[in-house]
């Protein structure tokens, strides 16, 4: 049985997850994500696929974050007509994410063409935030940036549009956790809980050829244990080959309980001062987790019932998908539902649909909590709230997610006294706080604990992977985690390079 795997993304970096498994004449793709984070990535995302899209047999999707699903409509545009398997919750969330992304792609192309054609290109300075949709990923700057190489003046096409998304959505096939899906001749896939965002999965791919059977496990993005709403990542114990993410392969997170405590303190402070707690948040996952935590804090009497504005249309849509999939909740959340509580609905929460409603929040009776995106202050509705609340000493800006290098979020988090917003200089007089315990990714200890289960019955036991591939991490994080897996667990480890092909036999 000749099997190989090619690392077409998330190798040497965090984004662009894409792995091609070649099994004789059959080809299966796992994830088809966008590269994100630097102005050059638009070029990278627009490059042709490394294979003939029309000749793929199947696509498997781990979860709905853009760095895992973002290029699927481009794959469809390139001629892929087969099934895209994912959990049912991922199918619903991916539709929201891809429609938003298509809108951004079209706006980006229009803006580029308006600025650059027919005159000579002046060379963009990058970092132009879009006023349009919201993208969602917790590890990187959100906005697509105009990246115009000097001298290029031909009109740009969007990577895809809403029609490509329509077709992609038609090709999606939802499954349940634990269900074994027939992928193609002799190939099956089982989706297990990854505990990262709603619907996120670890994929166990099994290839059978006569009596021979080979199992390749893709960790996808692994969540933390004991976080709200979702079940913990499923512990698996057997793989012939394993791909594991390493986003936080060299970092340790704060404890979740401490994060909850810090959130309660921040709310009590603004409640006392009749101020505003402004929380930049990512639409999918983080927002729903914060609502769940706030509901618990009110129930336990640890905070007063401060009104909450959920000011992000994408977060509202994602929240409704969370409501639609109680089958994936963890035992704690089910128990609360059985007891008559609604843990995903904070008492006094309000969704704001229109920009006018959003702007009217400044006149609301205080204290209030406002959750708005984007999570790194790179665009979106949070921008007009910043103008209102940054200069106000009774307000708190609370970061609960990673702030990427070069973003406005990082600038303010680092203690800047002024911030430039839509061309206006704004003084930062509010309190600025950061909580690190709400990450949706496992840290170095949690990654190691999950990995240690493979072949845990001892060296030479047959669950132990022949090779562990470390992916989805910046080089420092991937190398640090590789050293840990070799040293602490004695595993055979490889950190693949971009586009590297490895044969698995």
Give contact residues for Zn ion (rule: CB under 5 A).
65, 67, 221
**Residue 358 CB, nearest approach to Zn ion (Å):** 26
Instruction: Please check whether residue 60 is in contact with residue 90, taking contact to mean a CB–CB distance below 8 angstroms.
Output: no
Nearer to Zn ion among residue 65 and residue 85 (C-beta): 65
SS3 track for 102-167: HHHHHHHHHHHHHHHCCCCCCCCCCCCCCCCCCCCCCCCCCCCCCCCCCCCCCCCCCCCCHHHHHH
Nearer to Zn ion among residue 221 and residue 443 (C-beta): 221
CA angle 94, 96, 98 (to 5 degrees): 65
**Residue 91 CB, nearest approach to Zn ion (Å):** 16
**Residue 13 CB, nearest approach to Zn ion (Å):** 11
**Residue 194 CB, nearest approach to Zn ion (Å):** 9
Nearer to Zn ion among residue 65 and residue 464 (C-beta): 65
Nearer to Zn ion among residue 196 and residue 484 (C-beta): 196
SS3 track for 406-461: CCHHHHHHCCCCEEEECCEEEECCCEEEECCCCCCCCCHHHHHHHHHCCCCCCCCC
Place of tokens 């007089």: 429
Nearer to Zn ion among residue 67 and residue 262 (C-beta): 67
Nearer to Zn ion among residue 247 and residue 396 (C-beta): 247
Nearer to Zn ion among residue 248 and residue 399 (C-beta): 248
**Residue 89 CB, nearest approach to Zn ion (Å):** 14
Give the number of C-alpha atoms closer than 13 A to the C-alpha of residue 445, restricted to the C-beta side.
6
Question: Could you tell me how many helices (H) and strands (E) the chain has, helices first?
Answer: 14, 22
Q: Quick one: DSSP state of residue 284?
A: T
Closest C-alpha among 249, 243, 247, 222 to residue 480? 249
**Residue 238 CB, nearest approach to Zn ion (Å):** 24
d(CA 29, CA 9): 12
d(CA 66, CA 393): 36
Nearer to Zn ion among residue 184 and residue 403 (C-beta): 403
**Residue 472 CB, nearest approach to Zn ion (Å):** 6
Nearer to Zn ion among residue 228 and residue 296 (C-beta): 228
Nearer to Zn ion among residue 61 and residue 344 (C-beta): 61
Cα 116 to Cα 120, 156, 178, 293, 492: the distances in Å are: 7, 10, 51, 47, 51
List of residues 6+ apart from 48 with CB closer than 8 A: 78
Cα 47 to Cα 34, 51, 474: the distances in Å are: 11, 12, 22
**Residue 105 CB, nearest approach to Zn ion (Å):** 20
**Residue 474 CB, nearest approach to Zn ion (Å):** 12
**Residue 313 CB, nearest approach to Zn ion (Å):** 21
Which tokens belong to 181?
Answer: 């899906």
Which tokens belong to 427?
Answer: 């003084």
């Amino acid at each position: 049985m000749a099997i190989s795997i090619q690392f077409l993304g998330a190798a040497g970096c965090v984004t662009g997850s894409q792995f091609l498994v070649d099994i004789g004449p059959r080809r299966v793709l796992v994830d088809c994500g966008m590269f994100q984070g630097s102005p050059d990535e638009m070029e990278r995302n627009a490059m042709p696929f490394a294979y003939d899209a029309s000749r793929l047999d199947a696509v498997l999707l781990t979860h709905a974050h853009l760095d895992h699903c973002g290029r699927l409509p481009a794959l469809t545009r390139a001629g892929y007509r087969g099934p895209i398997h994912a959990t049912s919750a991922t199918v619903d969330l991916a539709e929201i994410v891809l429609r938003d992304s298509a809108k951004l792609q079209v706006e980006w192309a229009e803006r580029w063409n308006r600025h650059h054609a027919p005159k000579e290109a002046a060379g963009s300075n990058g970092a132009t935030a879009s006023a349009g949709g919201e993208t969602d990923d917790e590890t990187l700057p959100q906005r697509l940036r105009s990246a115009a190489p000097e001298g290029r003046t031909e009109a740009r096409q969007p990577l895809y549009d809403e029609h490509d998304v329509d077709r992609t959505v038609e090709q999606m096939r939802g499954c349940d956790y634990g269900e074994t899906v027939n992928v193609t001749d002799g190939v099956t896939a089982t989706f297990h809980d990854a505990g990262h965002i709603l619907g996120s999965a670890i994929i166990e791919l099994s290839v059978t050829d006569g009596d021979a059977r080979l199992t390749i496990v893709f960790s996808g993005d692994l969540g933390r244990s004991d976080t709200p709403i979702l079940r913990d990542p499923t512990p698996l114990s057997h793989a012939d080959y394993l791909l594991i993410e390493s986003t936080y392969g060299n970092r340790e997170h704060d404890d979740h309980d401490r994060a909850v405590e810090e959130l309660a303190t921040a709310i009590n402070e603004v409640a006392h001062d009749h101020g505003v707690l402004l929380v930049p948040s990512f639409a999918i996952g983080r927002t729903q987790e914060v609502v769940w935590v706030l509901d618990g804090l009110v129930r336990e009497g640890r905070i007063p019932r401060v009104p909450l504005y959920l000011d992000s249309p994408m977060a509202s849509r994602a929240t409704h998908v969370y409501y639609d999939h109680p089958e994936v909740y963890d035992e704690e959340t089910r128990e609360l539902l059985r007891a008559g509580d609604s843990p995903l609905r904070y008492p006094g929460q309000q969704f704001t649909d229109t920009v006018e409603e959003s702007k009217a929040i400044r006149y609301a009776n205080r204290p209030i909590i406002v959750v708005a995106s984007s999570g790194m202050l790179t665009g979106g509705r949070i921008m007009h709230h910043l103008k209102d609340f940054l200069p106000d000493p009774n307000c708190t800006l609370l970061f609960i997610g990673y702030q990427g290098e070069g973003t406005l979020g990082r600038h303010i988090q680092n203690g800047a006294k002024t911030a430039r917003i839509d061309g206006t200089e704004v003084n930062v007089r509010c309190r600025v706080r950061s909580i690190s315990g709400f990450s949706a990714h496992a840290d170095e200890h949690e990654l190691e604990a999950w990995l240690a289960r493979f072949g845990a019955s001892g060296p030479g036991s047959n669950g132990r992977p022949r090779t562990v591939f470390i992916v989805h991490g910046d080089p420092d994080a991937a190398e640090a985690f590789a050293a840990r897996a070799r040293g602490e667990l004695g595993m055979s480890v490889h950190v693949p390079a971009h586009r590297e092909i490895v044969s698995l036999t």
